[in-house]
Amino acid sequence: MEVINQPVQLAKEPAAAIDQLRYPPSPAATVTDHPSTRTNTGTSTPDTSSEVGPTCEIDARAANPSCSYPLAPKSRASNKVLTQDADTPDAHVVRDSRLIRLTGIHPFNTEAPLSDLYNEGFITTKDLHYVRNHGPVPNAEEQNIYDWEFTVEGMVEKPFKLSLQNLIDEFQQVTYPVTLVCAGNRRKEQNIVRKSRGFSWGPAGLSTALWTGVPLPELLRRAGVRRGAKYVYFEGDEKLPNGQYGTSEKLNWAMDANKGFLIAHKMNGEILHPDHGKPVRVVIPGQIGGRSVKWLRKIVVTDRPSDNWYHIYDNRVLPTTVTPEASDSLPNTWKDERYAIYDLNTNSATAYPAHNEVLSLDNTQGDTYNVRGYAYSGGGKRVTRVEITLDKGRTWKLANIKYPEDEYRNAREGEMLYGGLLDMSWRESCFCWCFWDLDIPMSEIASCDDIMVRAMDDSMMVQPRDMYWSVLGMMNNPWFRIVVHKEAHNLRFEHPTQPALMPGGWMERVKKAGGKITNGFWGEKIGEEEEEVEEPAKEICMTKADVTRLVTIDELRKHDGKDEPWFVVNSQVYDGTPFLEGHPGGAASIFGAAGQDATEEFMTIHSENAKKMMPEYHIGSLDEAAQKIIAEGEPEVETDEPREVFLQNKSWSKGVLSQKTKISADTKIFTFDLEHADQVLGLPVGQHLMVRLRDQASKDVVIRAYTPISEGSAKGKLDVLVKIYFDSPERKGGKMTQALDSVPVGQSVDFKGPIGKFEYLGKGLCTISGKERKVNRFIMICAGSGVTPIFQVLRAVMKDNDDPTKCLVLDGNRVESDILLRKELDSLAVRNPERCDLLHTLTRPEAHWGGLRGRMGKELFEERIGACSEVGGDDLILICGPEAMEKSTHSTLHSLGWVDEDLLFF
């Protein structure tokens, strides 16, 4: 890959070329002694990173007094690192306290109060610009931002690496206004109707800024796109649970100057704010904000859409018939590009009257009220009309529209703004919001029940009357309705919702009163329509009513070792000591949770029956101080010393998926890299590990236990064999297995352990729930992927030539291709004929099959295992397979006289 570190003179190209932009290429720039000041052929463009006002950077009006386009408002100098952020990974980010946090303290997802946003005018300051972050904000140090690098690679003739310094010095800069809109704008309305999979944006999930940077086609032309390329993929530096944030676009859009794709490094004349992509980002006008990747690291030209997790499982509008529950098991639906969102749809909202604004009706005879708000469309389309109705759509009034964006088209040829060429006169694409208003007589407002607005674009697409609800709650754009309340001599106005968890809005009020918002009449009852009452979720009580003890954090921490393990679930304290022997996951599972909050693991893994058992172990509640400490979490102790052992029983360790190896149509080996090449897995023979990840579709955390096929002494790598249970028309598939199958290579997955009540120590000696037992023969009964724990023990026994223990393995499957680890099992049997007896049986064998046929049942067990009285007490039966197989095996063995003490279910 070419590394660009010298200024390059760009060649001029024919204006007739389809990807030729209107602006000329720039000559090589000259760089002054300090990177904060640069000169582009005759125009001084000093950077400022503090305050922006009408005189920031180049004063365009001084050069052209006749220009009238808006410049950026002045930013607030009083912003600082807020108290909420001080103990988060975003402690380096200065923010405005007026922003409304939509997802708690962290990550930072915010919108401005609608009135404040509207009052700032056409251009939004960085202070009030909405923010969509998926995780911690990358910390680009001020002194190093010009060294920040990103690559242009993939299906190109000349891949190269570019620093921010190179981007500024070697390419013509442009500046133009762009409105960015989150695809979730107005999602709170959808969440009121039915909870979607997204958090609750109000109507201020949009903002407009003046962006300065380099048009993407210039970079792609330098790289030389190869024939067959159809897409361009962007990846940022945001480190997230599901890998880096990335998404793709169609290449012909990226090469079209009318689409305006920009690689930006300034916002309103300033260096990018950390929340907005410092030091370099993508800005894609007319499309949802999720396509404008921040903290840019890669531009990759490809022949297919991205397989990035966030490209597939975010920013989609699934058919409204798909429920949140069904979406969990529809991976192919998520991957269908027909449901991916690119261009924004037409939308509008009313800023004034504001929510809960009150107008007096006294002395208003003949007065008017100026109703006003914003509208936007997507894909470069222009909003051509905005209409207001006071009678629920029977009649409409045409509002006035102002297009501040058009004022930039009047700039003189060659005019510069914030160091970039302001050349919009040739382009008719509309990339910004517009403002509408209408003076309405107070008498008409006083006599109506509501004020509604809708917008239309130049393709005659108009906002729909009713909501199109979908799983992710995106692209919500029905008519925006404000209810008018008559209260004594006043009018009070009520917006549909308030953002985040803020109460208020007519939709919430109607829903609580039992109204059906989707009845086509905004919740008003029609005829004898029954009230819609939500059935409350049934909760299992996990506490004792008469327990009043308050437990301090010090008391809890005293019980985090090998004696009397206490643990916390939903702020309640439980003593796991009485269940150490009976716990299916072994005592290690309980000790692993001792002294900790085990809510996530317990609620994710355990059945309803397990939850019903909890009152028996309930001993008290955390006191207020302890709850605060648990909620805030223990600070992680950072160390440069690499850990020798990967698995930890009290904390999760991350393994990075490095390879997927297909074994059969529904089985794969997932290979994970440990933290370093010499790190030992640390899993005793016969024990298991916990796997935690976030389900790709539902976003729910999923935790399951697996037995890897790697040896416990293995270093640097972890291999897990998984049979993937896909959805079928008859039944839902496996939530964990399908989620794991969707994890892309390069993404990390969490592991914890070891757990399990059984451990093989060698030479026939094992422990069960901590008690030693000597075994002469293991009888191993398995089916399907249940072979993995069996294989782990069998391999350990056969690996030691001095181990006298014998093994009988009965492996049941449907067809020959279902036999997992067959080569490995057969190899162990062939090398140890005196100690290993391996039998495969199939229920649906083909004609050539020479092994056993039929299910594993009483006849087979009598012949191969025998009755317990015939065998003696030195055999131990290990069983692992599907639930139905385990139940039938248990019953059959009981009928042969085997007792539970001699049966161990993995």
Asked if residue 451 lies in contact with residue 353, where contact means CB atoms within 8 angstroms, the answer is yes
Higher pLDDT, 884 or 435: 435
Of 50-64, 500-514, 595-609, the poorest mean pLDDT is in 50-64
CATH 2.40.30.10 spans which residues of the chain? 653-755
Give DSSP secondary structure letters for 27-96. Answer: PPPEE-SSTTEEEETTEEEE-BSS---TTSSS-HHHH-TT-----PPPPPTT-B--GGGTTSTTTT--B-
Predicted pLDDT at 390: 97
- CATH fold of 92-339: Sulfite Oxidase; Chain A, domain 2 (3.90.420)
Indicate the CATH number for domain 347-519: 2.60.40.650
Is residue 512 exposed (0-12), middle (13-18) or buried (19+ Cβ within 10 Å)? exposed
Is residue 428 exposed (0-12), middle (13-18) or buried (19+ Cβ within 10 Å)? exposed
- Convert the pLDDT of each residue in 129-176 to its tens digit: 999 999 999 999 889 999 999 999 999 999 999 999 999 999 999 999
Q: How far apart are CA 551 and CA 794, in angstroms?
A: 46
Assess whether 347 carries a catalytic annotation: no
How much of the chain exceeds pLDDT 70, in percent? 87
CATH 2.60.40.650 spans which residues of the chain? 347-519
Active-site residue, selected from the candidate residues 40, 47, 166, 182: 182
- For residue 363, name the pLDDT band (cuts at 50, 70, 90): low
Assess whether 315 carries a catalytic annotation: yes
Predicted pLDDT at 632: 63
Assess whether 182 carries a catalytic annotation: yes
CATH class as words, domain 653-755? mainly beta
Q: Three-state DSSP class for 813? A: strand
Can you say which residues are annotated as belonging to the binding site? Answer: 182
Q: Is the pLDDT of residue 34 over 50?
A: no
**Domain range 758-905, CATH architecture:** 3-Layer(aba) Sandwich (3.40)
Can you say which residues are annotated as belonging to the binding site for Mo-molybdopterin? Answer: 182
Tokens of 759: 């451990």
Q: Is the pLDDT of residue 39 over 60?
A: no
Tell me which of 3.10.120.10, 3.20.20.370, 1.10.1040.10, 1.20.1290.10 is the CATH number of domain 550-632: 3.10.120.10
- Convert the pLDDT of each residue in 298-323 to its tens digit: 999 999 999 999 999 999 999 988 88
CATH 3.90.420.10 spans which residues of the chain? 92-339
Asked if residue 291 lies in contact with residue 247, where contact means CB atoms within 8 angstroms, the answer is yes
Q: Three-state DSSP class for 840? A: strand
CATH 3.40.50.80 spans which residues of the chain? 758-905
Give DSSP secondary structure letters for 397-409. Answer: EEPEEE-GGGGGG
Alpha-carbon distance values, 46 to 38, 423, 714 (Å): 6, 20, 57
Q: Which 8-state DSSP code applies to residue 874?
A: S
Active-site residue, selected from the candidate residues 166, 185, 268, 315: 315
Average pLDDT across the chain, whole number: 86
